[in-house]
Amino acid sequence: MRIETPRERAFGAVLAHAPEYGDAELRELGSGLDHRAFLVRDLVVRLADHASPAAVLAEAELLQLLNRRVSVPVPTPVFADPVRGALGYRLLPGRPLLDREPPRGLATRLGRLLRDLHDVDPSEVAECVPVDPALPDEWLDDLTGPSQLLQIVHTQRPRSAQDLVLTHADLGAEHILEHDGELSGIIDWSDAAITDPALDFTRLYRDFGPTFLDQALLAYGTDSADFRGRITFFARCAALEDIAYGQASGRAAYLRAAQRSLSWLFPPQGGS
């Protein structure tokens, strides 16, 4: 049996759910660890590599809820095709902040967004997202990197969180859109989970540094040594993961951003 290419899957989803776009050019937007996205006029078709049909429908349901509950634009589903693993939504303006400087005021805006997101009652989304205890020991499984950095991560493991909340859980620069100096959207909610709130600050710290983290936490309204300890631990793991991903995939922007973060995540080694 012939397996459809990603482009064929995307085009099939367009014909099935948005046939008015069927005669328009379908072009590839990009790809990540487990997704590939295509654009046809103003419609994004994002394909999940391995998502179950239930996961595609659950993400669409979550996005509908988020559109009602958070102040920052998130994708608005036009269709969900569980058979093809496809989610269609209108293109949000802006470009991802990966390997770019954040605009002024972004940390405060994101801190407020995360306050609203984490205040959503987990019972409202229990059918949409999984529960993940974010156990530090599990984050160390298969983690690779320089031995001296791995030793620091292993010896400074924090205790796991007691209170779990709704999170984006992959809030890195590549999923934050900027347009004309303003935050214009948060994309890729496929990893959303009821989990440790520290995870939503993890990649912000990795990608934008300690001053950005301070400003985001101030706007968020919660800060403690334990909370920062978990943020730092997960940020160190995420940096080493992105270095490995950047080296294996040839994605230089991921590699540069992660290597740059070593100077504040592992002082005074500076990644050396």
Closest C-alpha to 49, from 69, 71, 31: 31
Closest C-alpha to 47, from 30, 63, 71, 64: 30
Its domain, for residue 35, covers 6-90
- Same domain assignment for residues 30 and 149: no
Closest C-alpha to 137, from 118, 121, 151, 153: 153
Per-residue pLDDT of the chain (272 residues; tens, 9 = 90+): 677 899 999 999 999 999 999 999 999 998 877 789 999 999 999 998 877 888 999 999 999 999 999 999 999 999 999 999 999 999 999 999 999 999 999 999 999 999 999 999 999 999 999 999 999 999 999 999 999 999 999 999 999 999 999 999 999 999 999 999 999 999 999 999 999 999 999 999 999 999 999 999 999 999 999 999 999 999 999 999 999 999 999 999 999 999 999 999 999 744 44
**Separation of alpha carbons 90 and 184, rounded Å:** 13
pTM here? 0.93
What are the beta bridge partners of residue 89?
Answer: 44, 77
User: Edge-to-edge, what's the strand order for the sheet holding 95-96?
Assistant: 95-96, 176-179, 182-186
What are the beta bridge partners of residue 86?
Answer: 47, 81
Closest C-alpha to 175, from 167, 165, 185: 185
The CATH number covering residue 119 comes to: 3.90.1200.10
**Separation of alpha carbons 241 and 140, rounded Å:** 10
The CATH number covering residue 34 comes to: 3.30.200.20
Q: Are 24 and 41 in contact (CB under 8 A)?
A: yes
Is 138 contained in some domain? yes
- Same domain assignment for residues 105 and 222: yes
